A and B are shown apart, each in its own frame.
Chain A
Amino acid sequence: MDRKLKEAIASKLMLLATVFSSLLIFAVVIGLIQKSRPILATHSLSELLLSSSWFPLRGEFGFYPFIIGTIWVTVLAMLFSLPLCLLTSIYLAEYAPAKIRAFIKPLIDLLAGIPSVVYGLWGILIVVPLIKDYVAPFFGYSATGYCLLAGGIVLAIMVFPIIIAVSEEVFRAVPHEIREVSLALGATKWQTVKHVALRAALPGVIAAIVLGFSRAFGETMAVMMVVGNVARVPSSVFEPAYPLTALIANNYGEMMSVPLYDSALLLSALILLLVILFFSIAARIVLLRIERRVM
């Protein structure tokens, strides 16, 4: 065949593949919107988002407890994981001798490959009893252990490898020379890390955090196994919660004879998707700002 023709076919084929994969997001969004229409037609959005009464049989679909549950579990996970992840990635990239790094890095990467159901089981076997027997009594609460805190801890451990791996790469991508510049001015290593490396790496570190956040926000299995799944707004971290993801996974396919039930669940899926989209876009904007300011 003529090589010009091959060229044309190859480039068209790649274009087609690219268009297909980039249109998928629209397909998913449009599909979810279509499916959640029935419930949006009969209930106002503010009622759906802000009401706490979840009684599908009575036709009441208040997502508020689930939204709060999702937000709390995610926030807790980020609070636990961020300091650890940052310190670990800085240590690995800036301080650790090559040998130690070569030993630790694969261990952390290994964490990323563990299926989430295993994290869930580990949460049930270790984290839940620990909270029930020690942590909650210490703070003067009595709890089953299946609670927000357990979900937050398990999720935190799940996002570790993502944030560490990405931000460590980001630190290592900072040109060695600008560290040299700082050291040559008589800065200590820590001053150099804090004022130069961290600053140069900031956009990438934020990207890593957003990646971890999205993972935590959307994670289902492990959270569902330890978080208790009670449709109520929790008043402390020792109370159970019911994140949106768990709601969908537990109920879709069951109880579908209840009118509007599947539409309600698909709406919650749409909400999840939109929130993650919102955060990705917000992160992009922040990144652009930072880059314009310092780079």
Chain B
Amino acid sequence: MPKFKPHIRVKNLNLFYEGHHALKDITVDIPEKEITAIIGPSGCGKTTLLKSLNRLIDLVDGIEISGEVIVDGEDIYSTKVDVTYIRKKIGMLGQKPYPLPMSIYDNVAYGPRIHGMRKKKELDGIVEHYLEVAGLWDEVKDRLKSPASMLSAGQQQRLCLARSLAVEPEIILGDEPTSALDPISSKRIEEVFIALKKDYTIVIVTHILRQAVRLADYVIFLYMGDVIEQGPAKEIFENPKEERTKAYIGGEIS
């Protein structure tokens, strides 16, 4: 049994996609206010697992899912749960930055607005605060009204992060959040993640081992839909117990 306090508990999660068994009886615990990295070769189900954690997987047709994902003591797949509430609580940062087709300001204000906030002053405060947190404020404070698409990819990704944070989630999911970025922009996102973990539980999917080593406190190694090994990052990277984990970390399977 884990020694930490889990924020998300996945129990016997099975997922079939058009008959293909994509996630096989996954049981993992994700620690609170730490960075958990889900690693594994491409096509092993990392992103599927991540999207199961905020029910974004619901959008895919032909999915069958069973098992439980318990967040704060509540199964998010329970029929009593409001999915918009789950997604507000569990934010997501995608592989590529997708700014909404609106201004920088409106991108960050979008989430608070759809959840009912109307007061200009409060919105201004939220926009400034989260752009600060995402490390973008100084670069955009003079052009908040210009289209978000004018920003560079790296800036867009930080904008997307600010947008996710603005709805005040407890958990942030990152699906290879730096894969479309140059090394300097990637580094900035990583720095923001490290700074964020004192307040948020963070789960990232990454296929870059070195990134997992730099960021992760806890690691889940996924291989063909199976959790092969999970544990504190130090143990997994320095002293893996499973042969396949060793092989993956040693670069023999990818």
Contact = CB atoms under 8 A, between A and B. Distances in A.
Interface of A: 98, 175, 177-178, 180-188, 191, 195-196, 199-200, 292-295
B221 to A, nearest CB: 25
B12 interface: no
A179 to B, nearest CB: 8
A98 B62 CA distance: 12
A295 B149 contact: yes
B147 A185 contact: no
Given A185-B110, A187-B114, A199 B101 contact: yes
Interface in B82-122: 84-88, 91-92, 94, 96, 98, 100-102, 110-111, 114-115
B155 interface: no
Contact of A195 (B91, B92, B110, B147): B110
A288 B115 CA distance: 31
Interface stretch (B124-132, B160-168, B229-237, B244-252): B160-168
Contacts of B149: 295
Contacts of A294: 101-102, 147
Contacts of A195: 100, 110, 114
Contacts of A200: 101
Given A180-B94, A181-B94, A293-B147, A188 B84 contact: yes
B84 A181 contact: no
A186 B114 contact: yes
B139 to A, nearest CB: 20
Contacts of A191: 114
Contact of B100 (A178, A186, A188, A293): A178
Nearest to A184: B92
A177 B111 CA distance: 16
Contact of B102 (A177, A180, A199): A199
B184 interface: no
A182 B101 CA distance: 11
A178 B54 contact: no
B59 A185 contact: no
Contact of B59 (A175, A183, A187): A183
Interface range, B side? 20 to 34
Nearest to B87: A186
Nearest to A174: B101
A182 B100 contact: yes
A292 to B, nearest CB: 8
Contacts of A187: 84, 111, 114
Given A191-B114, A199-B100, A294-B102, 17 more contacts: A98-B61, A177-B96, A180-B59, A180-B98, A181-B163, A182-B110, A182-B114, A183-B87, A184-B87, A184-B92, A185-B111, A186-B84, A186-B115, A195-B110, A195-B114, A200-B101, A294-B101
Given A98-B61, A191-B114, A195-B110, A186 B167 contact: yes
A98 to B, nearest CB: 7
A229 to B, nearest CB: 46
A98 B61 CA distance: 10
B88 A186 contact: yes
Contacts of A196: 100-101
A189 to B, nearest CB: 10
B101 A181 contact: no
Interface string B55-72: 010010100000000000
B6 to A, nearest CB: 22
Given A177-B98, A180-B94, A294-B102, A185 B87 contact: yes
Contacts of A293: 147
A177 B98 CA distance: 7
B160 A181 contact: yes
Q: Give the residue among B94, B100, B167 with the most A Cβ atoms within 10 A.
A: B100
A177 B96 CA distance: 9
